[in-house]
Structure 1
Amino acid sequence: MLSSIVDLTSISSSWLQITIVAVWVSCILLIAWVVHRFAKGDPEIVRKIVHIGTGNVILLAWWLNIPAIVGITASVVASAITLLSYRFPILPGINSVGRQSLGTFFYAVSVGILIAWFWHIQQPQYAAIGIMVMAWGDGLAALIGQRFGQHKYKVLGAQKSWEGSLTMVLVSYFISSIILLSVQGNTWVTWVVSLAIACVATSLEAISFLGIDNLTVPLGSAAVAFMLIELLPYK
Structure 2
Amino acid sequence: MYNAYNDISQSVSQISAVVIWLGLVFLTSAILRHFGHEPELVRKVVHIGAGNVLPIAWWLHVPFGICLAAGILFSAIALASHYTNILPMLNDVGRKTYGVFYYALSITILVALFWEQHPQYVAIGVMVMSWGDGMAALIGKRFGRHTFVHLGNQRSLEGSLAMFVTSMAVIVAILGFSQDLQWRNVMMSVPVAAIAALLEAYSPGGTDNLSVPLVSAVLSYFLQ
TM-score using structure 2 length:
0.95
Q: Does 1:222 align with 2:195?
A: no
Cα deviation for residue 185 of structure 1 reads 2.0
Are 2:37 and 1:41 equivalent residues in the alignment? yes
Residues 40 and 93, structure 2, Cα contact 8 Å, conserved in 1? no
> Quick check: 90-99 or 19-28, which moved more?
90-99
Q: Tell me the C-alpha RMSD between the 2 structures.
A: 1.5
Matched residue count = 224
1:187 aligns with 2:182: yes
Alignment correspondent of 2:155: 160
Shift of the 98–40 alpha-carbon distance from structure 1 to 2, 3 Å rule, reads closer
8 Å contact 2:102–2:207 — kept in the other structure?
yes
Picking from 39, 50, 59, the partner of 2:46 is 50
The residue type equivalent to 2:90 in the other structure is: I
Q: How many Å separate the matches in 2 of 1:126 and 1:147? A: 31
1:136 aligns with 2:151: no
Shift of 1:77: 1.2
Which residue pairs with 1:233 in the alignment?
none
Structure 1 residue 97: deviation in Å?
9.6
User: Where in structure 1 are there 5+ consecutive unaligned residues?
Assistant: 230-235
**Contact 1:87 / 1:98 at 8 angstroms: preserved in 2?**
no
Q: Do structure 1's residue 23 and structure 2's residue 20 form an aligned pair?
A: yes
Q: SS of 1:94's equivalent?
A: helix
Residue aligned with 1:90, SS: coil
Q: Alpha-carbon deviations, 1:172-229, whole Å to 9, x = none?
A: 0111111111223232211111112211111111111111000100001001100000
Report if aligned partners of 1:89, 1:97 keep a CA contact under 8 Å in 2: no
Q: Secondary structure at the match of 1:200?
A: helix
The equivalent of 2:62 in structure 1 is 66
1:145 aligns with 2:157: no
- Cα distance in structure 1, aligned partners of 2:130 and 2:101: 14
Structure 2 alignment gaps of length 5 or more: none
> 3-state SS of the aligned residue for 1:214?
helix
Q: Residue 124 of structure 1: which of 119, 122, 128 is its match? A: 119
- 1:51-76 CA distance string (max 9 Å, x none): 00010000011011111111111111
Distance in 2 of aligned mates of 1:165 and 1:98: 21
Does the 8 Å CA contact 1:51/1:139 hold for their aligned counterparts? yes
Match of 1:13 in 2: 10
Q: CA deviation at 1:158?
A: 3.5
Correspondence for 2:102 among 85, 99, 106: 106
